[in-house]
Amino acid sequence: MFGDAETVSLSIGEVFELAVRVLTGAGLSLDHAQAVARALTAGERDECASHGLYRLPGCVMTIKSGKVSLDAEPVIEDVSPALVRADAGYAYSLLAFERAAPLLVEKAKKVGVAALVINNCFHFSALWPEIEHLTQQGVAALAMTPSHSWVAPAGGKRGLLGTNPMAFGWPRPGPDPYVFDFATSAIARGDMALHDIAGKPIPEGWGVDSEGQPTTSARAALDGAMLTFGGHKGSALSTMIELMAGPLIGDLTSRESMAFDDGAKAAPMHGELILAFDPDLMGGGNPQANADRAEALFAAFADQGARLPSQRRFAARERSLKNGVRVPKVLFDQIEALGY
């Protein structure tokens, strides 16, 4: 999205070290900084520019907003045989997830399905790193979260819903699970912002301007409202996520998150719902046959030349681990100019 601009080469380790240095320099505790840096590094490593170092200046803006706790220790509550609750204490969500995930997996493997509720958390990151972490433990997983009310519902003209991502993962033999992660908006807000930075037009159907009129200007859509993918279908899924990861778990909707922000332009503050499923326990006593059935389905994709979700990311990961990454110099200079 930065075109053919000059780039800076960094190893994966250097990406992580840069993120930790900036985040701790801005005031975030080391534990929180490392958790956030792991998510940023994963995005950069997998060539997901909108969730990599591009997010670092926004993280600093959130830290400086005074809204986010810099050092809150997540409070993990064992609520029931199938439910874990993590109160993030108005800090970033990532440390709360890392601390609560082992108990979530343990419960899923005991009762078949379990839920992790994260409350009072600031959220900016992709969901697939969390999903991959869970699939590595042998469970299937589904995650969802609201955001800020940047997105108009189908037939509407003003922001009401969030970009409201959802992600799913299925464990497979070998290192790479089946994973998808997408916003229910027509495009992730970070990708919309990258179009704006690059001066690139957006397709019709991605957003409307402040008057509710269709636009191909990323800036006009960012100032107006984004739209859901698939019209009423995306709008319905987005509303489901508002409910499942909002009122169902005792936390804010995207509209309430925006009101909480009150113009600070910090990351959204709300909750997150993660569900984990144990294929061995739920599969009726023949887990290998069920795993083979799943692999046959995936093989049928390849047989007709179709690509499974995340295959692009896994290929990018292999390249990045071998060769490092190239960060646009304009972004690198922006990060260095933060002064940390």
| Active site residue ranges | 50-51, 191
Contact 45, 8 (CB under 8 A): no
Long-range contacts of residues 310-319, Cβ cutoff 8 Å, at least 24 apart: 310/128, 310/176, 310/177, 310/178, 310/179, 310/180, 310/181, 311/176, 312/47, 313/46, 313/47, 313/48, 313/128, 314/46, 314/176, 316/45, 316/46, 316/47, 317/45, 317/46, 319/47
Burial class (CB in 10 A: 0-12, 13-18, 19+), 122: buried
State both tokens at 7: 């780039």
* Spatial distance between the Cα atoms of 294 and 299, rounded to a whole number of angstroms: 9
In three-state secondary structure terms, 144 is: strand
CA angle 161, 163, 166 (to 5 degrees): 115
* Spatial distance between the Cα atoms of 49 and 43, rounded to a whole number of angstroms: 7
Helix axes 93-111, 30-45, angle to 10 degrees: 80
Considering all CA atoms of the chain, what is the largest pairwise distance in Å, rounded to the nearest integer?
58
Q: SS3 for 286-300, per residue? A: CHHHHHHHHHHHHHH
* Spatial distance between the Cα atoms of 107 and 207, rounded to a whole number of angstroms: 41
Contact 99, 118 (CB under 8 A): no
Contact 332, 8 (CB under 8 A): yes
Contact 43, 52 (CB under 8 A): yes
Chain centre to alpha carbon of residue 172: 22
